[in-house]
Structure 1
Amino acid sequence: MTESNTITCEKFLPHHPAAVWKALTDPDLHARWWAAGDIRPVVGHRFTLDMGNFGSQPCEVTEVHDQRILAYRFAETTLNTTITWTLNPEGEGTRLVLTHTDFDLDSPMGRQAYDGMGRGWPHVLDRLEGVLGETPGFDEEP
């Protein structure tokens, strides 16, 4: 049996894809639910996420499909993984799928990151839902 080096989490958010997209791509909102950094939905855009005790992590946007897919290389100099956010309209909300891939499970750091992020991502998605719920206008259709 081959072990997967991919973490997948999904969450239904009772908010329109445009609102979820904004929370994923607006630096001020992004800092409220995950990490501060100059994220922008532009392929090739390089930015750094402030991961607190884990330091500043360099990233590069690799794929953008407006209000549907945002992907970027994460921690390029250490983990060198890929985070992909996929937004699927569902009823009056959005099914958000997070896929975090390319962990090197043969390295101690890669294994530790995989295990830690596997436990941590559901909590990050809960914080995202909280920010969406407390931000005025996110419950209205754009």
Structure 2
Amino acid sequence: MTDAAALDLYGALTEPATLTIRRLLPAPIERVWAYLTDDSLRRRWLAAGVMEPRVGAPFEFVWRNDELTTPSGARPEGYSEEHRMQGRITACDPPRRLAFEWPGAGHVAFELEGNGQRTLLTVIHSRLPDRKTTLGVSAGWHAHLDLLAVRIAGGEARPFWDEMVRLRTDYERQLPA
């Protein structure tokens, strides 16, 4: 397993339309898997929505980012209080791999590698349709994964929207146009 010091906290374009971002999380693989698949845990760091972890299963995620942290920070222009997205699971190998298709927004794969009380989580978001989506996805995954790490560790989170805005600016500078 990769050491925490070797991880680049920022995601990178590993192909022109593919973002890869990794986090070393302080929890066993089964606990991280639960944070991906259990609605009551996932809604605390990403989005609500019941998901049946089996290939072919449809699901709907409901983002309410204003509710993720207190305070939430200033919601940027162009974002609403709630966002819904439907998907379909394309791979499920508990607790090592979960992948799904988001029509119009690409394909997402979560790969987990456990080592005792730590888990390396790799998110691969491929088939990104354009730069605007790539920037939003990059900042979004980064902010949500940071929040996941805080939730798992039981720490205090920074205002979600403030982090999202800061990260979008960072990604605009570092990702190729």
Q: TM-score range by the shorter chain?
A: 0.7 to 0.9
Cα-Cα RMSD: 1.8
The whole-number CA distance in structure 1 between the counterparts of 2:138 and 2:46 is 15
Partner in structure 2 of residue 72 of structure 1: 100
Tell me the residue number matched to 2:138. 118
Task: Measure the CA separation in 1 of the matches of 2:52 and 2:110.
Answer: 13
Q: Provide, for residues 14-67 of structure 1, a one-character-per-residue CA deviation record: whole Å limited to 9, x for no partner.
A: 110000000100011111100111122111111111134263111111101111
**Alignment partner of 1:33: what SS?**
coil
Query: 2 CA distance for matches of 1:26 and 1:91?
Result: 21
Aligned to 1:138: none
Q: TM-score, normalised by structure 2?
A: 0.66
Aligned to 1:45: 57
Cα separation, 1, equivalents of 2:84 and 2:111 = 24
Count of matched residue positions in the alignment of Structure 1 and Structure 2:
125
Take 1:27 and 1:92, find their aligned partners in 2: how far apart are those partners? 23
Residues 76-116 of structure 1: CA deviation (Å, up to 9, x unaligned): 2x32x1110000123531000000001123xxxxx211111
**CA displacement at 1:133 relative to structure 2:** 2.2
- Percent identity reads 29
